[in-house]
């Protein structure tokens, strides 16, 4: 069974640009979560999508946004990039139909903002 | 708040046993997860506890005490490949419904010869 996939693997952008990151969940999973992990810091929760709807949002400015498609894949958009947006962006998926609702992570997208 | 505390770094010897502790605020608790994360890679799920007690999975075990807001991850027969960051993550029930998973900053474990 394929795991969570993310694209691209690496990305280099300059300040002020916009970026779109993509995530495909494990087959059968309906929830997708986005996290930011800056160098040396813990995972910071960004967004949670379930069944196509945004369910919860972390303490990030509105220039971080996303969506979930009918096939449960998801996009994370970051507008007006700033240097401090440089980080590993991790996507996770889960199946909320089981009590554990464990999140499984993709390999991440390494974003560098110059 | 939803603070999670775990030690920043630990060092242990190959073949030994190490215990990584995690404390959290108990209000709204709805499950605790441990993940392993090697440098530059995604976190990998290790264990899940929602009831008090010990869950054993091969060389790894995880313990939970809900009343104390305390968990630990026990790694036995340490191997060099166990050198990684170990993340404690707590799921809380949100007042408006649904739940939220919050991660600790991780414990960087270094296994030495």
Residues A88-106 have pLDDT tens digits of 999 999 987 666 788 999 9
* pLDDT for position A99: 67
DSSP E strand stretches across A41-108: 44-50, 53-57, 64-68, 74-78, 87-94, 104-105
Closest among A70, A11, A9, A4 to A34, alpha carbons compared: A4
pLDDT at B1 over 80: no
Q: What is the rounded distance in angstroms from the CA atom of residue B27 to the CA atom of residue A26?
A: 31
Choose from A65-74, B26-35, B93-102 the range with maximum mean pLDDT: A65-74
Q: DSSP assignment, residue A106?
A: -
* pLDDT for position B97: 63
Contact B98 A55 (CB under 8 A): yes
Contact B42 A107 (CB under 8 A): yes
* pLDDT for position A97: 66
* pLDDT for position A1: 65
Average pLDDT over residues B13-27: 95
DSSP string, B79-109: -GGG-EEEEEEEEEE-TTSSEEEEE---EEE
- Determine contact: B45 vs chain A, CB below 8 A: yes
In chain A, which residues have their Cβ closer than 8 Å to the Cβ of B33?
Answer: 102-103
Q: How close, in Å, is residue B2 to chain A by CA atoms?
A: 13
Instruction: Choose the closest CB to A43 out of B44, B91, B103.
Output: B103
Q: How close, in Å, is residue B50 to chain A by CA atoms?
A: 8
Cβ within 8 Å of B, A 33-52: 33, 35, 41-43, 45, 48
Burial of residue B65, with CB atoms counted within 10 A of its CB: 0-12 exposed, 13-18 middle, 19 or more buried = middle
* pLDDT for position A101: 82
Contact B50 A103 (CB under 8 A): no
Contact A100 B104 (CB under 8 A): no
pLDDT at B16 over 80: yes
Q: Where does the pLDDT of residue B96 fall: very low under 50, low under 70, confident under 90, or very high at 90 and above?
A: low
* pLDDT for position A49: 93
Q: How close, in Å, is residue B78 to chain A by CA atoms?
A: 24
* pLDDT for position B24: 95
Tally of CB atoms within 10 A around B105: 17
pLDDT at B59 over 90: yes
Choose from A31-40, A70-79, B20-29, B93-102 the range with maximum mean pLDDT: A70-79
In chain A, which residues have their Cβ closer than 8 Å to the Cβ of B41?
Answer: 107-108
Contact A90 B94 (CB under 8 A): no
* pLDDT for position B92: 84
* pLDDT for position A40: 76
| A33-90 confidence digits (pLDDT tens) | 999 999 878 899 999 999 999 988 999 999 999 999 999 999 999 999 999 999 999 9
Averaged confidence pLDDT in chain B: 92
Average pLDDT over residues B55-70: 96
Question: Which chain A residue has the Cα nearest residue B36?
Answer: A105
């Amino acid at each position: 069974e394929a795991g969570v996939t993310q694209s691209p693997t690496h990305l280099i952008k300059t300040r002020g640009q916009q970026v779109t990151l993509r995530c495909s969940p494990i087959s059968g999973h309906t929830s997708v979560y986005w996290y930011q992990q800056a160098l040396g810091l813990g995972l910071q929760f960004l967004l949670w999508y379930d069944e196509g709807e945004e369910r919860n949002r972390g303490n990030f400015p509105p220039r971080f946004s996303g969506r979930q498609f009918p096939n449960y894949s998801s996009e994370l958009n970051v507008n007006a990039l700033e240097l401090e947006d440089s980080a590993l962006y991790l996507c996770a998926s889960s199946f909320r139909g089981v009590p554990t609702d464990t999140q499984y992570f993709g390999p991440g997208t390494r974003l560098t903002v110059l | 708040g939803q603070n999670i505390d775990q030690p920043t770094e630990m060092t242990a010897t190959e073949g030994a046993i190490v215990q990584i502790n995690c404390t959290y605020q108990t209000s709204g608790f709805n499950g605790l997860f441990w993940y392993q994360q090697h440098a530059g890679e995604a976190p990998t799920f290790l264990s899940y506890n929602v009831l008090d007690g010990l869950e054993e999975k091969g060389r790894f075990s995880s313990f939970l005490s809900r009343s104390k807001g305390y968990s630990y991850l026990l790694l036995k027969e340490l191997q060099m490949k166990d050198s990684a960051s170990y993340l404690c993550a707590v799921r809380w029930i949100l007042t408006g419904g649904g739940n939220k998973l919050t991660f600790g900053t991780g414990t960087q474990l270094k296994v030495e010869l």
